Structure 1
Amino acid sequence: MRLLEGLLTHSPSVSVAGRALSAEALRNAAGAVAADVRGAGTVAVDATPSLETVVAVTGALLAGAAVVPVPADAGPAEREHILRDSGAALTLGNRPDRFAGAVPVDVTRAADPSLPAPGGDDVALVMYTSGTTGAPKGVELTHAAVEAGLDALGEAWAWTAQDTLVHGLPLFHVHGLILGVLGALRRGSPLVHTGRPTPAAYAAARGTLYFGVPTVWSRVCGEPAAARALRPARLLVSGSAPLPAPVFERLHALTGHRPVERYGMTETLITISSRADGDRRPGQVGLPVAGVRTRLVAEDGSEAPRDGEAIGELWVDGPMLLRRYRGQPGTPVRTEDGWFRTGDLARIGPDGWHRIVGRASTDLIKCGGYRIGAGEVEDALLAHPAVREAAVVGVPHADLGEAVTAFVVTTEGGVEERELIDFVAAHLSVHKRPRTVHFVEVLPRNAMGKVQKKRLVGPML
């Protein structure tokens, strides 16, 4: 089945920042792009939040090209790296000042190239990682992988052509582009992209299915009238970063919805999620989606117990995983027995529910012989009414090995350091309390709202 089957068999309209295309107009405009890029093995797209991006990506996929979304705000060095590393034969985009020689995209053109459907093993997208541990790597995702990932979510979220999807997320990440555009086109559901994910825009869209990152949902909760306007929706989904429990509860109180949370990576798409027809628990991401299995691996390589307390590295396997990294054909991406090591720390309960604790590289703190997950300390801090945002890291300590250190953004009026330390000690084991609390104006985040912790332990200290 084609990746874009829903676009071909249903009539999903697409709207971006107030500009709209009918399904027929989208098919025609994408057909013109497909004719432009026919024969190009890899095509880069200047992924601005626009109809042009939707048409460019759709057309290049119809032509069988591997699509490389280039972040709309990428600087010259990042753009150059992505274009060179991906081997893109050409670029689609309407900003010649950023991409010299780019092929412009005109959404009013029309053509029907009648191209054969790409094969399942053909590369559909090359998605570049954030590059937090080096230069961004190009993740090759095949048509079959993307189809499997989207179909698993369609089943978990009861997502059909009768839904109207609303979001305002960037169109160069998995969340905004693969789930938020290709997901709608595959399911055949109309898409309303709000341009910017403001509470007012979400409220005005009147959709049934909403996607947002925690920052979006926090801002929605900050405008109660906008939040209440989402009550008629069917499902609210949060991802790309952990949703703080206070935001979960506030969103539930205002909208009547307990949001779905899910977990995934650029390399794996979404592998774990709560369900439309099931329980949804603050701070937990649910159960493996269809076709996925998981392992929890201790530091010594043994299987960690699924008791809800033990922390281990999460390993996953499923049909939606990457094929390889672009330009690294000989580099293994799985273990010898087929597992992908996520590098994320998790707990799994006896009932199979997963809680993501954080990254192994930044969120496992070894303090005085204890192994502490930064996420649970952050959750405890966020339960204090004076804490708006919190990030916890381990800082080298001569006696303890690492000291639990918190960076906190407070609400108006603030709070004293000792009060927060004692607050956490009262809610968790005493050894998990922060030894130091730094009060900051803002936490450094990337485009998807994830806190960039490596920037906290350097200049901010």
Structure 2
Amino acid sequence: MLQFEQTAAAYTDKTAILASGQQYTYEQLIRAARSFATQLLAGRNDLNESRVAYMVEPGFHYVRTQWAIWLAGGIAVPLCINHPPPALRYTLTDSQVDQVVCTAAYLDLIRPLTEDLDLELIVLDKTLEADPEIEPLPEIGPDRRAMILYTSGTTNQPKGVVSTHKNLRAQIEVLHRAWEWSDQDHILCVLPLHHVHGIINVVNCSLWRGASCEFLPAFSPEAVFAAFLRGEINVFMAVPTIYYKLIAHYDTLPADEQANIQRTLRKFRLMVSGSAALPVSVMERWEAISGHRLLERYGMTEIGMALSNAYASQRFPGHVGLPLPGVEIRLRSEDNEPIDAEEAGEIQVKGPTVFTEYWQKPEPTAEAFTADGWFKTGDIAQLDPEMGYRILGRNSVDIIKSGGYKISALEIEEVLRRHPAIKDCAVVGVPNEEWGEIVAAALVGVDGSIDIEALKNWLKDYLPGYRIPRYYTTVADLPRNAMGKVTKKEVVKLFTNPA
């Protein structure tokens, strides 16, 4: 029996999901999942790891579909509900999908693709039968492949990250222990459900523990605060962009509404930020509003979560803590050699949370691991014995190599965000024949205008000369992916012909 089945059996009458103004118990959820698993099987004994893609709104029917695929023995392939047809086509063809599940809201988008690719399309019926007919379901072992999530593809074509049921259970259980999840928790989900952050950290961490998971049909600061003010939610996880938007909306509210929000937020048990670097200014402002210093952590599609600040002790801005229980971490040089304790190096990870393979890509899979079995994350970090690991950036996009220096783009961004005229920024390396790369900054102004010469003089007080950007451009907003991460590849294009 899979872990979520055991949880559902233990919490039959408890509310599992709140969505679209309705509440669903664990009994309703597991019965609906088993019924749909029977439909997916269509008389077969086992899907035997066939891939089932699904495009379903966040909420009860999303979880029902995901669990049904696992119960039927299939591999779940969640689709991004905001992707255009070419990106969806790539996922469907690369993962060699056999069945596609969608709700009526996405039928016009999905049907042409399934017809062109000759795939079976199942339109999910949202009605729940009083006593659905359920056939015997297969036994699912822990080493079975369970899910394929696609990387963001910021530097090349996205790769399908394959995780087994054992991998998923390890990723969830490590967070249960580290973040002290309980069946009394109630979390609000505002994250996309085709990434680890939403699928694992929010939805399955809560539902595999007997907690309640609430969904919003769409994100808005007004809707989030309204949900908070009901007084039931006590756990919240989001990306830095969401916290920034919540702060901006909060600052427009009258004093009495702000005071009410502050009182409510101080009752929360846990607030987490991840998936992108958290600006210290955002952390400090949210702490002033909520009374919570956001818990920062570090993870990837391939590994789940690996590093985390402590749940019950001091958290240090700009640092993502220490290895989670059962996760091994080491830092290595570009040549995969050991480094001195104070040096920066690539994060390498080993443990039961690490993925199995890139789908149908044996060479990239082999290249992703060292000869002794450590996964090479491509992220550069430095360890402080007291404060934990500090992420300096991704070696392909955030570590700029200029004139013999290795420069962290994230450190420059943090300084730039302190300037009163700058709302947000992204720093990249622009190819240059003489220097290798030149430091460049894309800036979002508070009021749309920034005095670049004055900014350069200001930076001299905070950065050595070789780290001060030489190229600048101002933009209305930075290019981002579905998780709110800035897409540095697109930022570099802004400087194709720098003046």
TM range (shorter): over 0.9
Range moving further from structure 2, 178-187 or 102-111: 102-111
Q: CA deviation at 1:277?
A: 0.9
Residue in 2 that maps onto 1:52:
61
1:353 and 1:384 map into 2 onto residues whose CA distance is 27
Conserved 8 A contact 2:190-2:216:
yes
Are residues 1:215 and 2:241 paired?
Answer: yes
Structure with the higher helix share, 1 or 2: 2
Q: Which amino acid aligns with 1:322?
A: F
1:227 and 1:377 map into 2 onto residues whose CA distance is 33
Residue in 2 that maps onto 1:325:
358
1:131 and 1:246 map into 2 onto residues whose CA distance is 29
TM-score normalised over the length of structure 2: 0.87
CA-to-aligned-CA distance 1:138-172 (integer Å, 9 cap, x gap) = 11101111111111111111111111011211111
2:299 and 2:171 map into 1 onto residues whose CA distance is 10
Are residues 1:261 and 2:306 paired?
Answer: no
Q: Which amino acid aligns with 1:104?
A: V
Runs ≥4 in structure 1, deviation > 6 angstroms?
Answer: none
Tell me the secondary structure at the aligned position of residue 427 of structure 1.
coil
Residue in 1 that maps onto 2:30:
27
TM-score normalised over the length of structure 1: 0.94
Q: Which amino acid aligns with 2:54?
A: V
Q: CA deviation at 1:183?
A: 1.5
Are residues 1:89 and 2:98 paired?
Answer: yes
Residue in 1 that maps onto 2:471:
436
Range moving further from structure 2, 403-412 or 102-111: 102-111
Residue in 1 that maps onto 2:181:
159
Are residues 1:18 and 2:5 paired?
Answer: no
2:326 and 2:292 map into 1 onto residues whose CA distance is 27
Conserved 8 A contact 2:297-2:309:
yes
How do residues 32-431 of structure 1 correspond to structure 2 at under 5 angstroms? 32-38=35-41, 39-40=46-47, 41-94=50-103, 95-100=106-111, 101-107=120-126, 108-109=128-129, 110-113=132-135, 115-206=137-228, 207-224=233-250, 225=258, 228=262, 229-307=264-342, 310-329=343-362, 331-332=365-366, 333-351=368-386, 353-412=388-447, 414-431=449-466
Q: Which amino acid aligns with 2:377?
A: T
Conserved 8 A contact 2:20-2:217:
yes
Count of matched residue positions in the alignment of Structure 1 and Structure 2: 459
Q: Which amino acid aligns with 2:16?
A: S
Q: Which amino acid aligns with 1:2?
A: L
In 2 relative to 1, CA 396–460 (structure 1 residues): closer, same or farther, beyond 3 Å? closer
Residue in 1 that maps onto 2:10:
9
2:341 and 2:208 map into 1 onto residues whose CA distance is 35
1:320 and 1:157 map into 2 onto residues whose CA distance is 16
In 2 relative to 1, CA 245–113 (structure 1 residues): closer, same or farther, beyond 3 Å? farther
Range moving further from structure 2, 131-140 or 386-395: 131-140
Q: Which amino acid aligns with 2:275?
A: S
2:393 and 2:308 map into 1 onto residues whose CA distance is 16
CA-to-aligned-CA distance 1:340-372 (integer Å, 9 cap, x gap) = 001111111133711111111111112222211
1:355 and 1:430 map into 2 onto residues whose CA distance is 23
CA-to-aligned-CA distance 1:180-234 (integer Å, 9 cap, x gap) = 2112111111001122232222222231110111111011111333852422211
Q: CA deviation at 1:12?
A: 4.1
Q: Which is greater in Rg? A: 2
2:310 and 2:217 map into 1 onto residues whose CA distance is 27
Q: CA deviation at 1:413?
A: 6.5
2:358 and 2:276 map into 1 onto residues whose CA distance is 23
Q: CA deviation at 1:459?
A: 4.4
